[in-house]
Amino acid sequence: MEAEVPAASLKTFYRALQCLGSIGEDIWIEARTDHLELIGKNASQSAYARIVFPAEFFDAYDSGESDNAVFRCRVQAKQLVGIFRSRTQAVEQCVLSIEQAAEPVHINSSATQSECRLVVRLAYKQRVCRTHRLFYEACETFHSTYDRRDCKGRWRVAAAHAASWVAHFARGSEEMTLQMTSSVVRVRSWTAGNVAQPDATRALHTELSVDPADFDMYHVPHPVELALALREFRAVLRYAERMAAPLSAFFDRPGWPLLLEVAAPPNPDARDHRQAPPTAEFVLATVADETTPAPSSNNATPASRAPTQILAVPDSIEPGSAPSPDASPYAHSRSSFAQWSPGNRSDSLLATPASARRANTATADSIAGSLPNSLGGPASQPVPESRVPTARAYRLLDMPRPYAPPGLTDTQLSDEHAAADELRNAPPGMVQTTLPFPTTAAQRPQGDMPVANADYSSDEELDATPPPPSKRMRALF
């Protein structure tokens, strides 16, 4: 595979890499005969991104494979993004190519192992050249099975406008909801809250109302509310803003993923004379509504398969990228704020604190009930009988339990004391694993050593950091 990125489009290429880098840790590269795809997904497999560069985007593009053959590989996002981050103004030529064990690279008069490398070669003015050879891993890629034609609701908006929605959200916000009706769009931030703060009313929430008239195109046949993770949505918005391209969204109902597309229209200006800007599509998982049946591994109906498994792999077996339906964090958690009956707007900003607190006890349960109650989780308020029991806590117990709690090594497993059933069945976090070496606490004499040797203070002195410079200064005067 060999692709030459035009110097003027290096910024575009960098922005695409940056977007994928902010979504996940790895970038998958798929080189087809007529385009180059960069694919990313996040760690919890709830966000998927795919940016396609048509062959005309490049000064020279050769996928190196015959028709219908595809070159696929995976590289670390951090390295690739870091290469393009600095000083791209002075670059005259940038070539990406794959070196496949052709000739070994000689460094220090000893041939390094002729490994497969992704070579990024940047040629600057005055014949200064920078070459990076990155390790890559040949692997399978994956694609989203969702089609925007299946989605009933859609809209398109200018990127700058959309970016202003989330610009004011507080830093701690983790989730957001998009409530779309025919007359208004409400964007709201949510903080999941943590165990130490079950009282979610202390966090700052922001709600924004947008007029559908601001959208370039707005078609929402019936009201829908989607809850999704803010981090990936922000990454998409940032990308759209930097590309100055409109953002299109396609959605159906809660639980179904939100499809986003950022595609700049061909620009007749001379800046990108190729007139072939990249197209980007993103799939973000949304939280399933209480009313829709929770997909579980038992129901193999198509409706349940789709919302939880947003990634489908062409090959039959793919251990890494196809998650079990239970593992997706959004598949099971109930949207506690999905009760949108007007009389019960417990989360409205207009509600008094007392009424909000009353309604929010149930919210706090589901948000903060991440520890099973049996293990002494936060003293949760009694759940009103009318509501469905807290879904997150309930489902956690059902999660496929690893064979051994995390932290136990194979050697420890084989030990007799580690074979205790209580260790095996304990949920994560409950077990104090034994360290393979004796700790200082164990080394303390049990009373038989003479007192003179028990000088523990010297150890602390060795560990003490030298006093800060300002303290040293005082001694001078």
Partner 1 sequence: MAAVRGTAPEPEPALFRAKLANVRPMVNMLKTISFRPRARCVINPDGLVFTVEESQCLVAQAYLRAELFTTFSYDVQLAEYYRNQEQAGFEAEDSQDGEPSDVTQVVLPLDNLIECLTLFYGPSGTSSSGAQSGAHSTATLHTSGNPGDLRGATTAVIAFNGPGTDFELMLEERGTISLCRLSTFVPEPSVDLKFSHYPTTQQLIIKSEWLRDAFNELDPTSESVSIYIASSEPHFRISTIGESGSTDMTYSNTERILDSFFCNEDQENQYKLSLILKCKQALAMSDKTKIRINQRGFLSFQFMIPTAADVSFVNFVFAPLVSADESIADATARV
Q: Which residues bind partner 1 (CB under 8 A)?
A: 76, 79, 86-87, 105, 107-110, 112, 117-118, 126-135, 469, 472-473, 476-477
- Residue placing its CB nearer to partner 1 in the complex, 379 or 476: 476
| Of the candidates 193, 163, 153, the residue with the CA atom closest to the CA atom of residue 175 | 193
Q: Which residue has the tokens 């966000």?
A: 47
Q: Do residues 95 and 4 touch, judged by C-beta distance below 8 A?
A: yes
- Residue placing its CB nearer to partner 1 in the complex, 86 or 183: 86
Closest distance between partner 1 and the C-beta of residue 322, in Å? 27
Closest distance between partner 1 and the C-beta of residue 399, in Å? 33
Dist CA 230 CA 211 (whole Å) = 21
Closest distance between partner 1 and the C-beta of residue 119, in Å? 9
User: Which residues partner with 50 through β-bridges?
Assistant: 39, 281
Closest distance between partner 1 and the C-beta of residue 200, in Å? 39
Closest distance between partner 1 and the C-beta of residue 76, in Å? 6
- Residue placing its CB nearer to partner 1 in the complex, 102 or 388: 102
- Residue placing its CB nearer to partner 1 in the complex, 131 or 425: 131
Closest distance between partner 1 and the C-beta of residue 171, in Å? 26
For helices 353-368 and 391-398, give the axis angle rounded to 10 degrees. Answer: 0
- Residue placing its CB nearer to partner 1 in the complex, 127 or 202: 127
Residue length of the chain = 477
Q: Do residues 332 and 294 touch, judged by C-beta distance below 8 A?
A: yes
Q: Which residue has the tokens 């000739």?
A: 103
Dist CA 454 CA 448 (whole Å) = 11
Q: Show the CA angle centred on residue 364, arms to residues 358 and 369, nearest 5°.
A: 145
- Residue placing its CB nearer to partner 1 in the complex, 98 or 229: 98
Closest distance between partner 1 and the C-beta of residue 472, in Å? 7
Residue 334, token pair as written in the block: 């109930």
- Over the range 109-126, which residues count as b (16 or more CB within 10 Å of their CB) and which as e? eeeeeeeebbebebbeee
Closest distance between partner 1 and the C-beta of residue 427, in Å? 34
Dist CA 158 CA 243 (whole Å) = 11
| Of the candidates 178, 175, 139, the residue with the CA atom closest to the CA atom of residue 162 | 178
Dist CA 39 CA 29 (whole Å) = 6
Catalogue the long-range contacts made by 457-461 (C-beta closer than 8 Å, 24 or more residues apart).
none
- Residue placing its CB nearer to partner 1 in the complex, 115 or 207: 115
Q: Do residues 311 and 282 touch, judged by C-beta distance below 8 A?
A: no
- Residue placing its CB nearer to partner 1 in the complex, 86 or 348: 86
Closest distance between partner 1 and the C-beta of residue 28, in Å? 16
Count the neighbouring beta carbons within 10 Å of the beta carbon of residue 172.
14
Q: Which residue has the tokens 């005055």?
A: 126
Closest distance between partner 1 and the C-beta of residue 146, in Å? 33
Q: Do residues 117 and 135 touch, judged by C-beta distance below 8 A?
A: yes
Closest distance between partner 1 and the C-beta of residue 148, in Å? 36
Sequence-distant (6+) residues with CB within 8 A of 331 are: 288, 294, 295, 307, 308, 325
- Residue placing its CB nearer to partner 1 in the complex, 270 or 464: 464
Dist CA 220 CA 323 (whole Å) = 31
- Residue placing its CB nearer to partner 1 in the complex, 106 or 171: 106
- Residue placing its CB nearer to partner 1 in the complex, 135 or 301: 135
- Residue placing its CB nearer to partner 1 in the complex, 132 or 238: 132
Sequence-distant (6+) residues with CB within 8 A of 455 are: none
Q: Do residues 42 and 116 touch, judged by C-beta distance below 8 A?
A: no
User: Which residues partner with 160 through β-bridges?
Assistant: none
Residue 395, token pair as written in the block: 């489902």
Q: Which residue has the tokens 């040797």?
A: 453
Closest distance between partner 1 and the C-beta of residue 470, in Å? 9
- Residue placing its CB nearer to partner 1 in the complex, 87 or 219: 87
Closest distance between partner 1 and the C-beta of residue 106, in Å? 9
